[in-house]
Every structure is written in C-alpha cells, then in structure tokens.
Amino acid sequence: MTPTTTQPTPPTLTTPTSALGRLGQSPPLLALLGAALLWAGWPIHPAPLTLLLFLGFVPYLRLEQVLTQQGARRGRVFAMTYLFLVLWNVFTTWWVSYSTLGGGIAAVVLNAALMCLPLMAFRRTKERLGSAIGYLSLPIYWIAFEQLHLHWDLTWPWLTLGNGFASVPGWVQWYEYTGFLGGSVWVWVVNILVFWAIFNRSKMPVWASSWPVLAVGLPITLSLTIGHNYQEKGPAAEVLVIQPNIDPYQEKFPENPKFIPREEQLRRLLERTEQNLTPQTKLVLWPETTLEEALFESTFEQQPQIQRIRRELLARHPGLSLLTGVTSIGRYPDKEHASATARFRDDVGYYDVYNTAAFFADATTPAQFYHKSRLVPGVEKIPPALAGLLANIDLGGIVGSYGSQDERTVFQAPTTPAIRLAPIICYESIYGDFIGQYAKNGANLLGIITNDGWWSDSPGHEQHLVYGALRAIETRRDVARSANTGISGFVNQHGNITQRTGWWVGAASRATVHLNDELTFYVRYGELIGRGAQGLAVLLLLGALVGPLVRKN
C-alpha cells in the first residue's frame, strides 16, 4: 500500500469587513501607503512629519507578510516590492525630470529596481533561515546596499535613509559618531519593532510593546544632549558667498535663447562681490561653472577673464582669496599617459574635460584646481557597461564622461587665521565619507559650490541644501554654500542653517564662520556601519544558501 503524503497549505486569510482591514490585506494599497508615508516624512516637509519615516516600511512588511500567507509566487512578490519602491522614488525625486525627462525616468526606474535587491534578499533569508534571522537580516542587507550605492558607477544615494533626518538636525547630533548610515539603521529598527508590535503582538511579551517608543525617544534624547553640550570650535573668519542667479536654461550658455555674454556675466559677479565685501572678508565663493567656457589649464593664467578677476577684485583687496567653479581642460602628452575618460582631437591631442573648482589664494599666486570626483551617473559619467545604452538617451550631459581625480584637494588661504577649504562641487555634498576625507586632509571649512537651477523651483534644491547640513554634523565643520540659482548661505557645526538667500534671486550672503581642526569619530574611522553591514550580508547570504543543504544532508 502506497502511503499518502499531505502537502502543507498556507494559512487561509479571513476576509476583512472594514475598510482598514481590507487595506491591511491589499498589497497594491499597502505599497501605495508605504510610499506615501516615506514621501511625507522626507525633507523638506514640516519637521514633525519626519516621524513618519519610522512607519514608512511597516506597510511593506505587512505586504510581504500577506503575500507569504497567500503562498504568492516570487514574481508577484517582486512586482509588489518594485511597485512600492518605484512609487517612493517617483514621489520623492520626480523633480530630476526637470533637467531631462530621460534622466528623470532612468533615475526612478533603475534606482527602484536596485532597491529591490536587499528586500528580495531579506525574503529569501527569511524563507531559508526563519523569521527571526530574516527580520534581523533586513537592515543589514539594506545598509550593505546603501554602502555599495555610495561607491560604484551607478551611485545615486539621494534616498539613503539617513538623509531623511536632514530637516531635523537636532535629532541626529550623534552622526558625528555614526555618519548618516546610523540614521538608516535607526529607521529600520523602529519600523521592524512597530511592525511586530502591530502584526505579531502574540509573539511579543507584554513589556516589549514599549520598545518602539523607546527606540524613537532614546536616540533623540541622546542627540539633544550632545547638541546642548557641543560648542562651536575654531577661530573665526568672515566669508562671502555670491548667488548670481543666471538662468541655466535661458541665459547661462551660448546656445540659450537669452544668452548673457560672458563678459557681462563676469561684470555682474565682480560688481555684486565688490558691493558686499568688507575689510574683514577673507574668502569669497562663486558657484559651480561660473566660468563655463572650457579653459585649458596650461594657459589658464593668460585668459582675459582670469586676468580681469585678478586685476579688478584680488589686486584691490589684499588678503582676499576666491573659490570659483570653471569648466577646464587638461591635456595629456600621449595616449599612454591619458586617463580612461580622455577624448582625442587632432588639433588638441588627448585631453580630459573637468567640472573644476579653481582657487585663487591671492592676486598673484597661480590658480590651483580641484576636479569634481563624484560625478552624476549618465549626466557626467557613463558607466562602461551602460555606454552603449545611454549613448542613445538624452540625459542632459556631455557626450562621454568628465575627468575626475582620486584625492581630496584642500586649498589653503594665506590668511590669519588660516582657512583650509574643502572644495565640494554640487552632487558631492551628499556623500558623508567622501566629505570626511577633506577633513582628514586638513580642511577646517566646507565650501559647497553648485548650480541647482536645473531642477527649477522643486524640492530638489531644498533637499540638496539640507543634506549639506548633515555633512556639517558628521565633520563638525561650518559650511559656506554658493549656488548659481539655488539657495546660498551658511550652516554651523550643529547642522543649523544660519543664513540662506531666497530662491531665484541675485543675492550675496556674508557670515563669520568657525574653523575647526578637530576630527570626529566618524571622520577618523569612516563608514564602519556600512562596511560592517556588507561583511554580515555576505555571511547571511552564505548561510541562506548553505544552511538548508547542511540540514538536508
């Protein structure tokens, strides 16, 4: 007689009768709810809404639980996961499409797909190793992914969860120890605790119901204590930032319909700077690509614009230094010495085009250059694997990739006290460990130069501004920020914005900054959390793959 085997069946779900109950059983609605909560809690919405970040992943965790109970196939789980993530990306970063529609679509579609990886790894681990290890693995996989997203060719860490607290710097003063990935851990820990308190209450002891409240309240209390006890450090110096407000779509470039001649653009900058200088001003910042005409670095000092800057500004104000954005060209003697991003022209030879920060220490010292190194994928850098695909899509950048450099250059002004400036160009300001390298190299002031006008009057330029405030906490460095058509101003070492100009106005902002030389724990040791999560993620994946085989044998 052949024995019969009984196949296990997934638990049946009772049909809910209330609207709230139906929401809790509908994966598409749960995906929409989770995306909406994360969007509402994201900068630059009112600060109290930041608390919604601690609930934003609860609908997704419920979604995954419901699909598991229904015995859903992996394809359906992936589809609902992707729906949740693509909605969050659309709601939060839709403004990228202002620059180019193709670039905006690519950023949303590809980033959401990449974000699926840690969530699908969590599901597989939960299936193989059980719920306890599965939920423990979730923040590990996510942080490991965020760490990867900071360093590879497709880098786009705009939605790194730790950035979500940029509107409430008082809550995360401990970023000087953990960096912004510490905020990502915080978001996941609270979300998982809330999920378990709501949907797995029977498996939790009664006294554990207070864990979510403690998990939110204790880090905030610790942060407020750190912030209260921290005092601004370093000698003082006066800095001036200029916002010229030249429309990048209509006025900035020769192909624009209302192009302002370069000589006139420079005249306006010099005039606004002169009007706002004082005898105490030690440093002036002009924004990214202020001098947008590509200038050869080998003949930089002979250019009429450069001689005019020296004659009409620096020579008139001894003791004044200037940082400005330029588009520059560096030549190579031959193909053997050329970089991987180098281009070739018969009349030029091998050369690289750079998004550059040029530093004038005084009226006579030759200019120094820093080449932007964190390049925007698709716009400033085309990953080799995607070169063929992206070559047919208008992403708003040049044909090919800009050149870059490996080291973080720090510019020293011959002032008393000595200003050692970190030249940070636009997109680079969202990378915590990257900015920390400037401080390690001796920078005592962070200088951000940018052009946020590409994103029009959207949340993009506001988010970019407040993300820079997190870099101030991580490094305990003041920030001076010069934007072409964004928001210019200053951030103190607590991450508080102390001055800010208006949007879409020509303006200047002057402030006294503090020049701090001390290194924070985060600057000294970097992304310990990210690197640790990557190591643990590898072990968990190996366990998920090998564990079932060992048990079977």
Q: What is the mean pLDDT of residues 373-402?
A: 65
pLDDT of 91 reads 97
pLDDT of 3 reads 44
- Gap between the Cα atoms of 174 and 179, Å rounded: 8
Residue 247 burial (10 A CB sphere; 0-12, 13-18, 19+): middle
Per-residue pLDDT band for 456 (boundaries 50, 70, 90) equals: confident
Q: Is the pLDDT of residue 6 over 50?
A: no
- Gap between the Cα atoms of 262 and 266, Å rounded: 6
Of the listed ranges 16-20, 80-84, 398-402, the one predicted with least confidence:
16-20
DSSP codes of every residue in 109-162 = HHHHHHHHHHHHHHHHHHHHH-HHHHHHHHHHHHHHHHHHHTTSTT--GGG-GG
Backbone angles phi, psi at 451, to 5 degrees: -135, 95
Comparison of pLDDT for 3 and 25, the residue scoring more: 25
Residue 276 burial (10 A CB sphere; 0-12, 13-18, 19+): middle
pLDDT of 104 reads 85
Per-residue pLDDT band for 388 (boundaries 50, 70, 90) equals: low
DSSP codes of every residue in 308-363 = HHIIIIITTSTT-EEEEEEEEEEEESSGGG--TT-EEETTTEEEEEEEEEEEE-SS
Q: How many CB atoms lie within 10 A of CB 417?
A: 14
Cα-Cα end-to-end distance for the chain: 28
Whether the Cβ atoms of residue 454 and residue 98 lie closer than 8 Å to each other: yes
Per-residue pLDDT band for 546 (boundaries 50, 70, 90) equals: confident
- For residue 446, the cross-strand partners are 422, 479
Per-residue pLDDT band for 210 (boundaries 50, 70, 90) equals: confident
Per-residue pLDDT band for 100 (boundaries 50, 70, 90) equals: confident
Summarised one tens digit per residue, pLDDT across range 123-163 is: 999 999 999 999 999 999 999 999 999 999 889 999 999 99
Q: What is the mean pLDDT of residues 170-196?
A: 97
Considering the chain, what is the average pLDDT of its residues?
Answer: 91
pLDDT of 4 reads 44
% of the chain at pLDDT higher than 70: 90
Query: Dihedral through CA 382, CA 388, CA 393, CA 397, nearest 10?
Result: 30
pLDDT of 200 reads 80
3-class SS of residue 45: coil
Comparison of pLDDT for 549 and 283, the residue scoring more: 283
Comparison of pLDDT for 248 and 382, the residue scoring more: 248
pLDDT of 106 reads 87
Q: Is the pLDDT of residue 393 over 70?
A: no
Q: Is the pLDDT of residue 401 over 90?
A: no
Break the chain into its structural domains and give their ranges. 19-229+528-552, 236-326+358-373+405-517
Q: What is the mean pLDDT of residues 374-397?
A: 63
Q: What is the mean pLDDT of residues 2-12?
A: 42
Q: Is the pLDDT of residue 281 over 70?
A: yes
Q: What is the mean pLDDT of residues 13-35?
A: 74
Per-residue pLDDT band for 378 (boundaries 50, 70, 90) equals: confident
Of the listed ranges 78-87, 283-292, 376-385, 481-490, the one predicted with least confidence:
376-385
Determine the topology of domain 236-326+358-373+405-517 in CATH.
Nitrilase/N-carbamoyl-D-aminoacid amidohydrolase (3.60.110)
Per-residue pLDDT band for 171 (boundaries 50, 70, 90) equals: very high
pLDDT of 313 reads 98
**Spatial CA neighbour of 413 closest among 386, 443, 434:** 443
Query: Dihedral through CA 188, CA 192, CA 194, CA 199, nearest 10?
Result: 150
Whether the Cβ atoms of residue 512 and residue 419 lie closer than 8 Å to each other: no
3-class SS of residue 100: coil
**Spatial CA neighbour of 115 closest among 75, 156, 74:** 156
Q: What is the mean pLDDT of residues 34-44?
A: 97
- Kind of pairing, strands 236-243 and 479-483? unpaired
- Gap between the Cα atoms of 115 and 166, Å rounded: 21
Q: What is the mean pLDDT of residues 520-533?
A: 97
Q: What is the mean pLDDT of residues 503-508?
A: 94
Summarised one tens digit per residue, pLDDT across range 222-267 is: 999 999 999 999 999 999 999 999 999 999 999 999 999 999 999 9
Per-residue pLDDT band for 380 (boundaries 50, 70, 90) equals: confident
